[in-house]
Structure 1
Amino acid sequence: MLFASNGVDLLVKMRKGASGEEILDEITRVWQARDDRYSEERGRINALSAKRRVEISYIGG
């Protein structure tokens, strides 16, 4: 995950034959369980301050 200090190895599940639905379920589970909300918080702050949001693609990322 971008900006994460740890992650989830989906390749292990794939190699064990997990279906696409099982992989999607795992991604959904991890996403919903996360406690960081950097992107959502940044979006709210930018909306409140009325500053133009700089996307990573504009700055070379």
Structure 2
Amino acid sequence: AWPAWLLLEYMMRVAEGLSSLRFAAFELGEFHWMLMLALYGLVWWMVWRYNRGVKAL
């Protein structure tokens, strides 16, 4: 259990350190839900098109 604790402690300290940077988070402001839906649709379409061309093993 000690190695798992050590790894998790390291990950938590890195996350805390990076989250304290001033540019770690920013506010987008108004974001219409229809725009979000369209962007998700675009990502889905791009993944679908990519996977259509990839041959399965």
Report which of the two structures shows the higher radius of gyration computed on alpha carbons: 2
More helix by share: 2
User: TM-score, normalised on structure 2?
Assistant: 0.41
User: TM-score, normalised on structure 1?
Assistant: 0.39
